[in-house]
Every structure is written in structure tokens, then in C-alpha cells.
Amino acid sequence: MRRYSFLHLAWQALRGNRGWRPAWRNAEPTSGYEVVIIGGGGHGLATAYYLAKNQGIRNVAVLERGAIGLGNSGRNTQVVRSNYFYPQSVAFFDHSLKLYEGLGRELNLNVMLSQRGVLNLAHSEHDMELQRRWCNAIRMSGVDSEWLTRDAIRALVPPLNLDGRFPVLGGFIQRRGGICRHDAVVWGYARAASSLGVDIVQSCEVTGFKFANGKVRAVATSRGIIGADKVVMSVAGYSSELARLAGIELPITTMALQAMVTEPVRPVLNTMVISGLVHAYVSQSDRGEIVIGGGADAYPSYAQRGGLPQMRDVVRAVVELFPSFSRLKMLRQWAGRVDITPDTSPIMGVTPIDGLFINCGWGTGGFKAIPAGGHTMAHTIATGTPHPLIESFGLDRFRTGALIDEGAAAGVAH
Ligand code: FAD
Ligand code: PYC
């Protein structure tokens, strides 16, 4: 991999930028691999990278049915944070945030991490009570979280209307939380994995599995049969459909989650603000656009577009909270298919089939988990034993009942 550096940038500029090489190899599939990863989103690519780098397993293919990063990993609103409720979740997501903090250097690509803080608003005494408990729970797990008074919030977020239909009584902030450029994360992992020998195979859809003696042997794809000692499913909203081809029923519901951006304006908002009551959140992108999102559309769907009622509700809530934003023109709206579990926590680890692993159930919040998801899944695949940080997130919890109900901390409603 040619390292990106200031000198290299200057040299390319002098040559009229004609010397850039593709950042990763667009590989042709071979007849077989030690590990096949299905899904070229952030999780699949990060898993490939850590398999190659940390576990020394380089005979790996990432099979992507379209182009890498065009699923949810390229459609999210880029929020990173580790302010979950239960200790297992805080430990996992803070591991991810710490990896994000060093990711630009690790991948030699600027992932534009901006730790501008993630602020949750409390609109009633009930909200205040629950959010204080949540804020304390995060602190008791050893992660930063800070209670803010109304006045502190007023100073931090000048355009926020604290006295409107949804009065703001207080809130809590994770100052290490923020925004990170989603495409750069995908491209960075793809480039680094490819340089370590991983084959990234695009336009290659997995359509079935081949098993022998209870063990996975190969995957059937739109480009033929590809052998594999181990296979990982990292396909987000398609997880239940793909797992069904392997005879596994997943407790996943797929829904559309949408987001939108306004025209760019000068800097007015330097914090990511989220309101669980009205199910809406906003941040300002580096380009100046106001990025707006809310909860998932309230019905199962595989359509990669959102419905008008949800869009209308989210915009209505945002202009109540930020009246000046009502003057902005909306530029774009889009949606992704999100994979939602009953307890709003991910599913990571082994499956009942020898050699078949799973990474899914990220719902509305798996972008922030990409580094830790890849890191812990690589360990799990290499050793056959779940990494300690993901032991509680196994598929078997839906049989044992040991659920980790992160519904309230999942960021947006679903
Ligand atoms: P994806 O990126 O979706 O990748 C899965 C890939 O699998 C896709 O590229 C797909 O084409 C491929 N695939 C599917 N089936 C097959 C097959 N049969 N064969 C081969 N390939 C296949 N999370 C946050 O943490 N913060 C946020 O602010 C945030 N905001 C969001 C906003 C929106 C609008 C959306 C939609 C999601 C948001 N998320 C957020 C969630 C986050 O984007 C996802 O949880 C995360 O990107 C999932 O990554 P992934 O790699 O598992 O899935
Ligand atoms: O998981 O933090 C999150 C999130 C914010 C917006 C969408 N998901």
C-alpha cells in the first residue's frame, strides 16, 4: 500500500493528479478461501482487515453483491458514541470509540473524526429522572458522561428553543462522542485489507450455502461456487433472508431508516443533538448542511426509501426544537434497510452450524461499532470462541432469555 502523506499529495498535485492508483484491488474470485465474508459494508471490511492484520489470516474474500459501502455504512448519519446503558454495551462501544480515536493513523486515511459531543435532551421530569440514571450508569461503567443544566445547554446550542412545545429541562453529553466520515471508514478498511492480501469481490451475490457433515464448505454465488473453511454473514438488513438460506431463523425485523440534509449554511451547530422524546436528531456536517434523522419507519420493509409520514414527523419535531431551521431548503433524503433485534442489541458470534459466523442486528446504530465489530469478530472467527467483549451478544441469548435491552439507549426509536 502506498502511504498517503503530505509529500505524496504535493507530488501528485505537481503531476496533475495523474499518478493516483486505485485504493484497493477489485479482485476476481478464486475457487476457495480460508474465510469468506459476505457483505462489503463497514463490518465485513473491518473483519477482513483485523483477520489479516491481527490474526495473520490473509486468505480471505469479502463478497459484496453490489459495490462496497453502498449499504447502510454509506447511508448513515455518522454518529459515534459509547453512552449505552448496560456495562456490556458500554464496554463494547467504548472499545469501538477508542479504536475510532486512533483509526486515521491506523489506516493512514483521514476518517475526519470530530469529537464535538453527543447531547441527549430531557423534556420532562420523567425524562430528567431516567436520563440522570442513564448518565450515572455510563459513569459507573467508567466512561465519560456529563449532566448539563438548562443554562449550559442554552450556551452550548444557541439555535435550540428551550421554551417551545418541547421544553428542555436539562440533558447529558458525552463529549468524546461525535461524527466520523462514513465513506472514509469504509474506504480506509477496504484499502488496508486489500493491501494485506484480502480479495474484495464486488458484484458477487451469495445465493446459498454448501454444507457437509454439519460444517460449512462453500457458498453459492452469482459468480459460481466459492469454497470456504469459514463463512461470516455481515449483511445488515438482509440478514434474516441470508440466514434462512442456511436454515437459521433470526429474530430480526428489517425496517427503513431515513435521513435528510438541508442546504449548507454557515456554522451554527457544533454538537450532535438528540431528543428521544420527539425521535429526532440533528448535527451540522463539515460542508455546512444540517443533517436530520429520526426513528425507523414504523413497519417492516425491504424498500430502501423512507415513507413520507415519518419524514414529516421528524421535520416537524426538528423545527419545533430549532425554529430557525424552518427557513432552510431540504436538499436530499435517503434511507437504508436496518436489521432490528427484539432487545436492540447486536448479534455477534457463532451459529449452530460449524464454521458459520454471524454479525448483524445493528439496527439504527452499527456505524459506531464498525471497528470493534470487525476486531472482535476477527478474533472469534480465528479462535472459534467469542471474544470476551461480545460473549453477551451471542445468538443464543434469544434462547436463554439473557437479553440486553438497549431500547432507550439505541439513539433513535424503532
Ligand atoms: P451494510 O453497510 O449495510 O453492509 C452490508 C452489505 O451486505 C451491503 O453492502 C449489501 O449490499 C451486502 N449484501 C447483502 N446481501 C448480500 C448477499 N446475499 N451477497 C453479498 N452481499 C450482500 N449507526 C450509527 O452508529 N450512527 C449513526 O448515526 C447511524 N445513522 C444511521 C442513519 C441511517 C439513515 C441508516 C440507514 C443507518 C444508520 N446507522 C447509524 C446504522 C449503521 O449505518 C449500520 O448499522 C451499519 O452501517 C451496518 O454496517 P454493516 O456493514 O453491517 O451493513
Ligand atoms: O446510534 O447514535 C446512534 C444513531 C444516531 C442516529 C442514528 N443512529
Write down the pLDDT at residue 412: 67
Locate all alpha helices (DSSP H) within 276-396, ordered by sequence: 308-321, 370-383
By most ligand atoms within 8 Å of CB, the mutation choice from 261, 291, 367 for ligand 2 is 367
293 lines ligand 2 (CB under 6 A): yes
For strands 60-63 and 199-201, give the pairing. parallel
The secondary structure of residue 300, as a DSSP letter, is B
Ligand 2: atom nearest CA of 76 is 7
Which of 73, 187, 244 has most ligand 1 atoms within 8 Å of its beta carbon, as the pocket-test mutant?
73
Counting from 1 in the atom list of ligand 2, the atom nearest the Cα of 367 is: 1
* Residue whose CB lies within 8 A of the most ligand 2 atoms, among 75, 76, 80, 260, for a mutation test: 76
Q: Which residues are CB-contacts of 385 (< 8 A; sequence separation ≥ 6)?
A: none
Does the CB atom of residue 273 touch ligand 2 within 6 A?
no
Inter-CA distances, 167 with 150, 170, 329, Å: 10, 9, 25
Spatial distance between the Cα atoms of 231 and 44, rounded to a whole number of angstroms: 11
Report how far residue 55's alpha carbon sits from residue 319's, in angstroms, rounded to the nearest whole number: 49
Stated pTM of the model: 0.98
pLDDT of residue 160: 98
Size of the chain, expressed as the number of residues it contains: 414
Q: Which residues contact 42 (CB under 8 A, 6 or more apart)?
A: 69, 73, 182, 185, 186, 189, 366, 367, 370, 373, 374
The per-residue pLDDT for 411 is 64
State the Cα–Cα distance between residues 76 and 68, nearest whole angstrom.
Answer: 14
How high is the pLDDT of residue 2?
Answer: 84
What's the gap in Å between 76 CA and the centre of ligand 1?
8
Nearest ligand (C-alpha, residue 372): 1
pLDDT of residue 393: 98
CA torsion 325-330-336-338 (nearest 10°) is 20
The predicted structure's pLDDT at residue 324: 98
Q: Please tell me if the CB atom of residue 411 comes closer than 6 angstroms to any atom of ligand 2.
A: yes
Q: Is the separation of the CB atoms in 339 and 254 below 8 Å? A: yes
Counting ligands in written order, the one closest to the CA of 336 is 1
CA–CA distance, 51 with 230 (Å, rounded to integer): 12
- Helix pair angle (182-195, 42-54), 10° resolution: 40
Q: What is the β-pairing status of strands 215-221 and 356-360?
A: unpaired
Q: 3 is written with which cell numbers?
A: 502511504
282 strand-pairing partners? 273, 292
Q: Which pLDDT does position 413 carry in this prediction? A: 59
| Residue numbers in the chain where pLDDT is lower than 50 | none
Residue 63: name the closest of 185, 192, 206, 190 by CA: 206
